[in-house]
Structure formats: structure tokens, C-alpha cells
Amino acid sequence: MRSTLLRRFGLTSVLAVALAVFGFTPSASAAQADLTFSTSAATTTPGGSVSLSMTLTNNHTYDIWFVYQTIDPTWLTTQRPDLLYSFTGCTLATPGGGSVPCSGTGPANLGSNYGATIPPGQSRTVTLTLSVDAASGCNGNIGFYSYNYIEFSDSTSISGGPVYTPETRVLCA
């Protein structure tokens, strides 16, 4: 008796290639380009601090009404019991060039800190201060990842995450 497994696999492969050739494959989410990360320094030491900034840019044609974002340590960062750090400050850069304190410190829900509504073409930057305890062991990277969900005034939403970026890693030496 002949196996139909190869026939099914062949049909599935032909269908996948046809969809890819004709442009029916899923496209990457636009949310990835909307959120950028940066740090004030690439390296810190025990007792030091680094600013971790996240800039959300509305490059769509509708207002951003709602943002939900988290920032969490990577699994490797959580596996280092000698590493002692905390978020000790949070500010929002205002459109006028100044800054105001966030609605809270820490990575729980950064979305409310962006001060939505964000009109098309505008950006908001939230900056967290990462402080490394003076008694901390430092022998590697402190890494983070982020998840975000954004709703627009045209009733659409985009979701991006988890987002792992090299810019959100700080060498603790």
C-alpha cells in the first residue's frame, strides 16, 4: 500500500510556494518600527545607573488612543542571583521639550506613561533609570525584552512582541 504522506507533504509545499510567490504570506507588523529602544551607556558598574529609553512614534494616519507596554528582564538575566538592580526613576519627554514624572516607576505598564493621545507624526519617549546595587555581582549583560499593544482612533490595533533588541542590553562589568 502506497503512503499518502509524501503526496500530502508535496501538496502543502506547492501551496506554500504559490502563496509566497503571489504575495499572500503574512507581513511583519508595523508596530516594530513604531517603538525604538536606546540606552545612555553600553556599560555600567556596581553602584552605577543607566537610562533606558523607549520612543513610540505614530507613523500612521490616525491618533494613538491607547498603549500597553511592558519591559521585563530576559530569562538569562533572571538566572543570575548575584545581580541586584531596580528601576528607580521614570520620566516622559513632553512635546514641548521638557519632561514630567511618569505615572509610576517600574516595568509593570509603561503604556499609561506615554500620555496618549499621540497624533500622527508625533513621538513620545519614556525613560527608565536602571540602578545597579553597589553589592551586585556584575559579570555579564543585563537584558530586557518588551511587549506592546497599540490602539488607534480608526478602531484598529497592532501588537508587537516580544521585542528583543541588542540596544536593551547593558554590560555590567
Q: What is the pLDDT of residues 50-62, one digit of tens each?
A: 999 888 898 888 8
Asked which of 13-27, 59-73, 93-107 is least confident by mean pLDDT, the reply is 13-27
Coil vs helix vs strand at 151:
strand
Q: What is the pLDDT of residue 17?
A: 36
Contact 73, 141 (CB under 8 A): no
- How do residues 93-115 score in pLDDT, each as one tens digit? 877 778 888 875 555 567 777 77
Confidence band for 144, pLDDT divided at 50, 70 and 90: confident
CA separation for the pair 146, 19 (Å, rounded): 31
Considering 10-19, 24-33, 73-82, 156-165, the range whose residues carry the highest mean pLDDT is 73-82
Confidence band for 136, pLDDT divided at 50, 70 and 90: very high
Which percentage of the chain shows pLDDT scores above 90?
Answer: 12
Q: Mean pLDDT score of the chain, rounded to an integer?
A: 75
Q: Does the pLDDT at position 18 exceed 60?
A: no
Q: Does the pLDDT at position 4 exceed 80?
A: no
Q: Long-range contacts: 116-121, Cβ < 8 Å, 24+?
A: 116/63, 116/64, 116/65, 116/66, 116/67, 117/63, 117/64, 117/65, 117/153, 118/56, 118/58, 118/63, 118/64, 118/67, 119/58, 119/63, 120/58, 120/59, 120/60, 120/61, 120/62, 120/63, 121/58, 121/59
Segment 116-124 shows an average pLDDT of 86
- Whole-model pTM: value is 0.72
